[in-house]
Structure 1
């Protein structure tokens, strides 16, 4: 299995690489961070599709998932206590991987017109919090790392992130799979989560969409996990890793994620000084679970409020995609 050793402690990150685009000197390298419980293998069907669009795909397994280093006891203690040191570590590890990949594989830098080359880094679902960490903890990230990434990093993509990625308070009316008393243990919660997060939900469309009119159902229609073969499911879903290192992201780590998002996206000094050429794209799936649709609504609202005040925030493009939370991983058939 290909792995990158990204620090002096021997931390390994497993990744799958589609390879350079034949004949191209300006391809973009799209690095994908998977979401909660579903591994990087969830995106494997995309690997042969990138070259036609001048894209090299690199799909990681995040720490604790198959092939990548497990978290140490002390790192898990930081996570479970909701300490910012855990996300500072994530920031450094994201930077280390990107620097390692750019130097080892000699990828094209950002083109002169800024429209090709370099890195586009995408986080799916709550996995978006991992690449976002690189922007939200500048005091912990070496200045030299940002300098090395400056010629390469041009785009940060949030693919259907839930509101929890940004530490937003959620409306109490909404169904919460993490507090459902019918699923009292972490393993049971994640088994319920896989069906809840991969269903289809009908929500009001823009511009009439209101948070309290979102579909708060406990279970959506036609869950995409039912389309997986047993072999695909075994590769794609890792409930054990998720129960070890994802559950705290939804509770004790929320205050840290809130500060991380505010600093990364809305703080003028950070936007001006930390990888200032990087723009953001936020994608939402119109039939996704309400966590993700709410994340889109609330972020777009805050973005427009900051712009109206004349605050120079990080540029964000908001895009809607027809389909559910799994539409772009080529596993879901529309109902």
Structure 2
């Protein structure tokens, strides 16, 4: 892994598939989600050059090689934290990540960049979008010149404050307190990597979304036969209690909803990015309920605000196309830039 330092001495470790022989290739910078860090993108990294792309994946803070949160930041992201301190701490992470993006653009001479935030990373992408107002004009001009797309990729409802309709006794396994911590992790992993053949999603009715795994899914769940050492290189379970799980706690839903509305669907923020960047959303239509519901809410927010959000569906993909559907994923990301 390589590293780069931003303000306040914060260091980000990142993987990089490397420069291509041509000059006008698209570099995708992917912000990872909860538990599954940059190692989750290794197969996508290996495939990137052959498909004509460059892929850079930083480990967010809390994850291997990058600067951890301070004790104060960890405390600020716990459910008992005051909402203003929670919001300020999150917004600071968006600024650090935007500085990371600017840094690798300069270090590697990147001409065309798409930034995609996957799962929980979609909230950090939202924070990156808003951070454009906090950087000097020189940095803002450079970002406007090189960033061609900002992409929400499989956003998760709980991370943006989108409350789902009543689901009875069912809960997202990661936040199901009826399970032991160990059972929570294993149940979440099996659930989030599964395929869900949701019927009639075009109806936009919650009843059309499958909540839990089905007996005979259309495809075997991602990583079912992965070697233990490959799985170990993808996850860091310790990050959950040190900040990541707190971000999705129901206590903070009003705040994360407000941050999403204020940063993604704000005309002044969009104007700062200029006309050359596409604001987009990519998702797999066989992904988990939290993703499908979030996609619908994002579409509704875009319609209500009158601020455009381009939406690209990957048919048959689940929450892990960076493993199972790599060419289709790159194509969807590229279409956000080219269309």
- TM tier, smaller: 0.7 to 0.9
Rate the CA distance shift 1:275–1:194 in 2: closer, same or farther, 3 A. farther
- Residue 103 of structure 1 corresponds to 106
1:51 aligned residue: 49
Within 2, Cα distance between the matches of 1:258 and 1:276? 25
TM-score normalized with structure 1 length: 0.85
Distance 1:317 1:201, change over 3 A: closer
Describe how 1:45-84 pairs up with structure 2 within 5 A.
45-80=43-78, 81=81, 82=83, 83-84=86-87
CA contact (8 A) 2:39 2:234 kept: yes
Distance 2:258 2:291 in 1: 19
1:209-224 to 2 correspondences below 5 Å = 209-217=204-212, 222-224=220-222
SS in 2 for 1:150: helix
Structure 1 match to 2:199: 204
Match of 1:319 among 308, 313, 317: 313
Distance in 1 between residues matched to 2:109 and 2:132, nearest whole Å: 26
Task: Report how far residue 51 of structure 1 moved.
Answer: 2.7
Correspondence list, 1:237-276, <5 A: 237-251=235-249, 252-276=251-275
The yes-or-no answer on 1:85 pairing with 2:56 is no
1:4 is the counterpart of 2:4: yes
Q: After superposition, what is the alpha-carbon deviation per residue over 1:186-213, rounded to whole angstroms, capped at 9, x for unaligned?
A: x543332111211122212342241133
The CA distance in 2 between the partners of 1:136 and 1:262, in whole Å, is 10
Unaligned stretches of 5+ residues in structure 1: 109-117
Change (3 A) 1:144 1:86: farther
Distance 1:121 1:85 in 2: 22
Distance 1:315 1:282, change over 3 A: closer
The correspondence of residues 6-21 of structure 1 with structure 2, limited to 5 A, is 6-7=6-7, 9-21=8-20
Normalising to structure 2: TM-score of the pair? Answer: 0.84
> When the two structures are aligned, how many residues end up with a matched partner?
315
The one of 155, 159, 162 equivalent to 1:161 is 155
> Is the 8 Å Cα contact of residues 201 and 209 (structure 2) preserved in structure 1?
no
Would the aligned equivalents of 2:118 and 2:154 in 1 still touch at CA under 8 Å?
A: yes
Against the structure 1 CA distance between its residues 213 and 205, is the aligned structure 2 distance closer, same or farther, given a 3 Å change threshold? closer
Q: By percentage of residues, which structure has more helix?
A: 2
TM-fit CA distance, 1:151: 0.8
- The structural deviation recorded for 1:302 is 3.2
Report 1:166-181 matches (<5 A): 166-173=160-167, 175-181=171-177
Paired residue secondary structure (2:256): helix
Q: Contact 2:27–2:110 at 8 Å: present in 1 too?
A: yes
1:218-271, Cα deviation, whole Å (9 max, x unpaired): 678543242321011111121112332211111144333212211233222222
Shift of 1:321: 2.9
Correspondence for 2:118: 124
Gaps of 5+ in 2: 327-339
| 2-structure distance, mates of 1:12, 1:152 | 22
Q: d(CA) in 2 for partners of 1:54 and 1:225? A: 25
